[in-house]
């Protein structure tokens, strides 16, 4: 008698039973029953595991199909905007900015779609369109790629029978050059085995730009605030007019490839106990309406006391507090911010509010400077003395800074509070000086928490300094062409500004990481973050 029992190693295991079960002793029957039960349990576990695997595959397939449909719909909308009737409300410069945003968005979406699709084997018979040759007059540098060894596995030496040449366009300010990548073909005359060095991995597969050219475009756009239509003009003067549609596609692809770095930087930021947060308005285009509306850029950074030098920008369609909550997620540290209500929900969920003395001081300063308010003028020496103490505390470690604040700043804060309470009783309700006093009195606990923690700064000025590059850029690029364009700008500028905070040249940094990204382990992506980056000897 044969019993079809458990599944083992992916196949059914058969078990041979005795012909006469009555001949077995009770002990043998119990042992046989236990064995059968164990095999059935093993089978059930195997079935359960395979069921979970199937369900997981179905969920992944459903996500991919849903995401592909979303991206395909987004592409159709962008193409309608690109080729449809244009609003006459925009100037030629504004239309150029819209075009480059659409080109970059399309390239980023197409890359994401490509990553979602199952990998199909390459069809060698398909004829690929030939790219126009780079101008012959450009200087060329030859880079040879040859096998590590020309010795064949049969013991014979291979001979060189030819080569494949590909050209990439490089750029240093004002000068184009061409890199000629030469891959020799080597064959063994005995066994006719052919070998060739592999094509070097590139951040834009089969693209012509070197990482140096890509870094130049990104730094010019996001650090020097030069829109792509202006870069097109600059490149034309250097001898090669690269269409802004091509530049836009490069920017979109690079933005998508760099996003994992920004995600990793975001996670490292949330490991810090004290963070700054601030937001600033940015106009975003609504193409279907032919108008712009107010979006917001949020900035998050550790304090200047922290060893981590980084800033992460987050672009959102509004100033709603839900965007701050989404960025901070489950983080429950100390947040230095102004009195904007969007942060209040986070304070109810475990975040500790740290007030900004600079905002409190500014209320009195404006009244004194603009309206010669004598009461406001009396507050200024208090703030000046507190900031004098902070200058002395800046060179100390956290514990010494806390002690200094307790001994010198706390008595001064107590005196300032008593003065404010006394003055509030004397001024009329609703007056400008009453509002200035109420701002500080209502937030006094948050304003003085810095006295008890040497890791906490007195104000929010550090993050305001990190937002300044955006304020400069707004005068050049006028608005964000789309939500994706704003998010892409936030991601790339996070890396550029963080590189600058760590003393790196942003061009050298981007060039190096764009070179290394295609072959870098995803599990070790944090090694490429600006505060950990070590150059690989690339001459910039």
pLDDT of 144-186, one tens digit each?
888 877 777 777 877 787 788 888 888 887 888 888 888 888 8
The rounded distance, in Å, linking the Cα atoms of 168 and 143 is 11
Task: Please report the pLDDT score of residue 122 as a whole number.
Answer: 46
What's the rounded Cα separation, in Å, for the pair 444 and 439? Answer: 9
Distant-in-sequence, close-in-space partners of 404: CB < 8 Å, separation ≥ 6: 389, 392, 393, 396
Position 469 scores a pLDDT of 80
Token pair belonging to 31: 């042992």
Whether residue 13 has pLDDT greater than 60: no
126: confidence class by pLDDT, cuts 50, 70, 90: very low
Residues 6+ apart with CB under 8 A from 233: none
On whether the CB atoms of residues 98 and 90 are closer than 8 A, the answer is yes
CA atoms within 13 A on the CB side of 482: 23
- Which is more confident, 78 or 395? 395
Nearest to 498 by CA among 280, 331, 253, 269: 269
Radius of gyration of the chain (CA): 32
Tokens of 22: 């009555």
- If one compares 175 and 268, the residue with the highest pLDDT of the two is 268
pLDDT-wise least confident of 31-40, 255-264, 413-422: 31-40
**CA 260 to CA 410: how far, in whole Å?**
44
Residue 293's beta-bridge partner residues? 284
Judge whether 140 and 180 are in contact, CB under 8 Å: yes
Count CB atoms within 10 A of the CB of residue 239: 12
Residue 1's pLDDT is what?
47
DSSP three-state, residue 309: coil
Query: What kind and span of H or E run contains 160?
Result: strand 159-172
Q: What is the mean pLDDT of residues 108-116?
A: 70
Indicate whether this model's pTM tops 0.95.
no
Q: Say if residue 426's pLDDT is above 80.
A: yes
Residues 349-405: tens digit of each pLDDT: 999 999 999 999 999 999 988 888 899 999 999 999 999 999 999 999 999 999 999
CB 182 within 8 A of CB 145: yes
Q: What is the mean pLDDT of residues 425-430?
A: 89
β-strand pairing of 175-187 with 274-286:
unpaired
State CA 410 to chain mean position distance.
40
Inform me whether the pLDDT recorded for 83 exceeds 50. Answer: yes
CA distance 35 to 459: 71
pLDDT tens, position by position, 227-262: 888 899 999 988 888 888 889 889 988 999 999 999
User: How many angstroms separate the CA atoms of 302 and 463, rounded?
Assistant: 9
Cα dihedral 51/55/60/62 (nearest 10) = 140
**CB 329, CB 350: distance < 8 Å:** no
Tokens of 112: 């994401």
Whether residue 528 has pLDDT greater than 70: yes
DSSP per residue over 21-47, as a string? GGGS-HHHHHHHHHHHHHHHHHHHHHH
**∠ CA(252), CA(256), CA(260), 5° rounding?**
155
- In whole angstroms, what is the distance from residue 485 CA to residue 256 CA? 11
Nearest to 469 by CA among 313, 259, 358: 313
Q: 116 versus 490: which is more confidently predicted?
A: 490
Does 14 have pLDDT greater than 70? no
Name 145's bridge partners: 183
Asked if 342 contacts 324 with a C-beta cutoff of 8 angstroms, the reply is yes
Q: Provide the percentage of residues in the chain whose pLDDT is more than 70.
A: 81
Among 1-15, 29-43, 346-360, 445-459, the minimum mean pLDDT is found in 1-15
d(CA 492, CA 255) in angstroms, rounded, equals 7
Residue whose tokens read 């965007």: 323
**Cα–Cα distance, 540 to 197 (Å, whole number):** 26
Quick check: 445 pLDDT over 50? yes
Inter-residue contact 186 to 159 (CB < 8 Å): yes
Distances from the Cα of 527 to the Cα of 264, 398, 532, angstroms: 10, 28, 6
Supply the mean pLDDT for the chain: 83
Report CA dihedral (239, 243, 247, 249) to the nearest 10 degrees: -150
Q: Quick one: pLDDT band at residue 123, thresholds 50, 70, 90?
A: very low
3-state secondary structure (DSSP) of residue 281 = strand
> How far is Cα 459 from Cα 528, in angstroms, rounded to an integer?
31
What are the angstrom distances between the C-alpha of 524 and each of 191, 202, 261, 354? 41, 18, 10, 34
Which residue's entry shows tokens 């590059």?
469
């Amino acid at each position: 008698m044969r019993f079809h029992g458990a599944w083992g190693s992916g196949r059914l295991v058969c078990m041979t039973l005795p012909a006469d079960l009555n001949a077995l002793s009770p002990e043998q029957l119990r042992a046989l029953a236990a064995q059968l039960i164990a095999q059935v349990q093993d089978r059930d576990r195997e079935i359960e595991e395979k069921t979970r695997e199937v369900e997981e595959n179905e969920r992944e397939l459903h996500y991919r199909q849903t995401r592909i449909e979303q991206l395909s719909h987004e592409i159709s909308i962008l193409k309608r905007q690109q080729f449809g009737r244009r609003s006459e409300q925009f100037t030629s410069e504004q239309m150029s900015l819209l075009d480059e945003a659409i080109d970059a968005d399309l390239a980023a979406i197409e890359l994401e779609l490509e990553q979602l699709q199952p990998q199909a084997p390459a069809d060698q018979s398909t004829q690929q369109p030939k790219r126009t040759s780079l101008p012959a007059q450009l200087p060329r540098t030859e880079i040879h790629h040859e096998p590590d060894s020309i010795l064949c596995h049969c013991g014979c030496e291979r001979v060189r029978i030819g080569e494949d040449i590909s050209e990439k366009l490089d750029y240093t300010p004002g000068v184009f050059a061409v890199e000629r990548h030469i891959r020799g073909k080597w064959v063994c005359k005995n066994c006719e085995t052919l070998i060739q060095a592999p094509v070097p991995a590139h951040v834009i597969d089969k693209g012509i730009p070197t990482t140096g050219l890509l870094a130049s475009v990104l730094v010019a756009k996001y650090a020097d605030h030069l829109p792509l239509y202006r870069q097109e003009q600059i490149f034309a003067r250097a001898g090669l007019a690269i269409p802004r549609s091509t530049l836009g596609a490069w920017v979109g692809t690079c933005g998508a490839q760099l996003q994992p770095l920004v995600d990793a930087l975001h996670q490292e930021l949330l490991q810090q106990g004290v963070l700054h947060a601030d937001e600033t308005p940015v106009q975003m285009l609504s193409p279907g309406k032919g108008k712009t509306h107010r979006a917001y850029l949020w900035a998050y950074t550790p304090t200047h006391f922290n060893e981590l030098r980084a800033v992460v920008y987050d672009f959102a369609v509004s100033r709603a507090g839900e965007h701050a909550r989404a960025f901070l997620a489950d983080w429950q540290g100390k947040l230095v911010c102004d009195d904007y209500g969007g942060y209040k929900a986070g304070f109810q969920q475990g975040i500790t509010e740290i007030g900004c003395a600079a905002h409190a001081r500014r209320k009195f300063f404006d009244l004194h400077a603009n309206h010669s308010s004598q009461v406001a003028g009396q507050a200024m020496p208090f703030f000046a003395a507190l900031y004098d103490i902070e200058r002395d505390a800046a060179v100390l470690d956290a514990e010494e800074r806390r002690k200094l604040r307790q001994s010198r700043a706390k008595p001064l804060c107590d005196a300032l509070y008593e003065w404010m309470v006394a003055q509030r009783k004397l001024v009329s309700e609703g007056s400008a000086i009453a509002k200035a006093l109420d701002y500080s009195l209502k937030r006094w606990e948050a304003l003085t928490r810095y006295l008890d923690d040497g890791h906490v700064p007195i104000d929010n000025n550090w993050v305001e300094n990190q937002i300044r590059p955006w304020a400069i850029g707004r005068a050049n690029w006028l608005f964000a062409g789309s939500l994706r364009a704003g998010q892409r700008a936030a991601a790339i500028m996070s890396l550029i500004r963080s590189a600058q905070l760590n003393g790196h040249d942003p061009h050298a940094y981007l060039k190096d990481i764009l070179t290394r990204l295609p072959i870098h382990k995803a599990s070790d992506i944090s090694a490429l973050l600006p505060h950990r980056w070590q150059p690989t000897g690339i001459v910039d």
